[in-house]
């Protein structure tokens, strides 16, 4: 198993624990997300982005969910999730991967197509895959934690439970072969938080994550390549335009001479 390159300052990272629950045959992923949320808000401030409180909380939960799921998966995989909601009309996007130890995401609130149902899209990529692995399912409710449980039941073909605790602590408990599914189904937030006190567990591994996209102007400019022969249409008399990163919504000013 190859290990990721060490990136950035260790204090910016969270530690995600992968814990096996013996006799229940379940895997628990757990982490405190305060450092990631701090960097997320610094990112929003830097780029002048503001979200409605409900959508902001939804995206934060979504980032926690995909991070824990990524740790439940092999190191080499990168996971991207998109959820298209009817009400509020919004797309949530998040992506996470262990090799780069990063998670990022954003909201799309403008020019969003209104679906007749709420849809969850998952895409998994890895170097050994010739094509991405895609799955789509309809989800109900407006809670990202519920979406994850529905995703596991329908796409992963095994049960899982997702919990939000105090102090930005989240845990994901997934079934392994011969899991005690009755025990898993009865878990509540308090019982999930106390698993290490009430069950025999063993720490399998830890992985680090931070809020990081890796975008820069050099990666953003190719998006505008088709406008190279039509700059007047693109700029419409302005000295510059603002382009957003499709992964994290970072804003970049682009002038004519950059195209």
Provide mean pLDDT across the span 160-175.
98
pLDDT per position as a tens digit, 55-108? 999 999 999 999 999 999 999 999 999 999 998 899 999 999 999 999 999 999
Q: How far is CA 186 from CA 21, 40, 180, 182, 189, in A?
A: 15, 33, 10, 6, 10
48: left (phi over 0), alpha (psi -120 to 50) or beta: left
Calpha distance 22→198 (Å, rounded): 11
What are the residue boundaries of the structural domains of the chain, listed by start? 10-211, 217-258
Instruction: Give the pLDDT confidence score for residue 5 in this predicted structure.
Output: 42
Provide mean pLDDT across the span 226-240.
83
Calpha distance 245→140 (Å, rounded): 28
Which residues are 92's β-sheet partners?
Answer: 83, 107
Q: Answer yes or no: are the C-beta atoms of 153 and 139 closer than 8 Å.
A: no
Q: Is the pLDDT of residue 111 over 90?
A: no
12-26 burial by CB neighbour count: b if 16+ within 10 A, else e?
A: bbbebbbbbbeebbb
Q: Is the pLDDT of residue 148 over 80?
A: yes
Calpha distance 63→79 (Å, rounded): 11
Q: How confident is the model at residue 112 (pLDDT cuts 50, 70, 90)?
A: confident
Q: What is the pTM of this model?
A: 0.91
Provide mean pLDDT across the span 119-131.
94
Q: What stretches of 94-224 show up as alpha helix (H) in DSSP?
A: 144-151, 181-186, 189-193, 195-198, 217-220
Q: What is the CATH number of domain 10-211?
A: 3.55.30.10
Provide mean pLDDT across the span 170-176.
98
227: left (phi over 0), alpha (psi -120 to 50) or beta: alpha
* CA-based nearest residue to 121, from 107, 135, 133: 135
What counts of helices (H) and strands (E) characterise the chain?
A: 8, 12
Calpha distance 6→16 (Å, rounded): 16
Q: Answer yes or no: are the C-beta atoms of 170 and 162 closer than 8 Å.
A: yes
Percent of the chain with pLDDT over 90: 76
Q: Is the pLDDT of residue 3 over 60?
A: no
Q: Answer yes or no: are the C-beta atoms of 104 and 211 closer than 8 Å.
A: yes
Label residue 128 exposed, middle or buried (CB < 10 Å: 0-12, 13-18, 19+): exposed
Of the listed ranges 23-32, 116-125, 166-175, 218-227, the one predicted with least confidence: 218-227
Q: Is the pLDDT of residue 11 over 70?
A: no
Q: How confident is the model at residue 9 (pLDDT cuts 50, 70, 90)?
A: very low
């Amino acid at each position: 198993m190859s290990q990721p390159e060490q990136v950035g300052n260790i204090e910016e990272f969270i530690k995600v624990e992968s814990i096996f629950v013996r006799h229940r045959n379940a895997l628990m992923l757990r982490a405190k997300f305060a450092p990631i949320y701090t960097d997320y808000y610094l990112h929003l401030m830097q780029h002048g982005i503001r979200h409605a409180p409900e959508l902001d909380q939804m995206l934060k939960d979504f980032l926690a969910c995909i991070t824990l799921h990524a740790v439940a998966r092999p190191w080499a995989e990168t996971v991207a999730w998109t959820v298209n909601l009817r009400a509020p009309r919004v797309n949530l996007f998040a992506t996470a991967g262990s090799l780069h130890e990063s998670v990022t995401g954003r909201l799309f609130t403008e020019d969003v197509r209104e679906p007749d149902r709420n849809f969850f899209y998952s895409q998994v990529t890895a170097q050994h895959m010739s094509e991405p692995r895609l799955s789509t399912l309809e989800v109900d409710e407006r809670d990202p934690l519920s979406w994850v449980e529905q995703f596991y039941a329908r796409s992963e073909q095994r049960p899982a439970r997702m919990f939000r605790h105090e102090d930005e602590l989240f845990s994901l408990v997934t079934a392994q072969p011969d899991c005690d599914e009755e025990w898993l189904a009865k878990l509540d937030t308090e019982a999930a938080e106390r698993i290490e006190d009430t069950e025999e567990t063993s720490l399998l591994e830890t992985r680090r994550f931070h809020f990081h996209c890796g975008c820069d102007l050099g990666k953003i400019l190719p998006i505008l390549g088709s406008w190279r022969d039509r700059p007047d249409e693109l700029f419409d008399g302005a000295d510059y335009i603002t382009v957003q990163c499709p992964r994290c919504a970072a804003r970049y000013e682009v002038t004519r001479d950059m195209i």
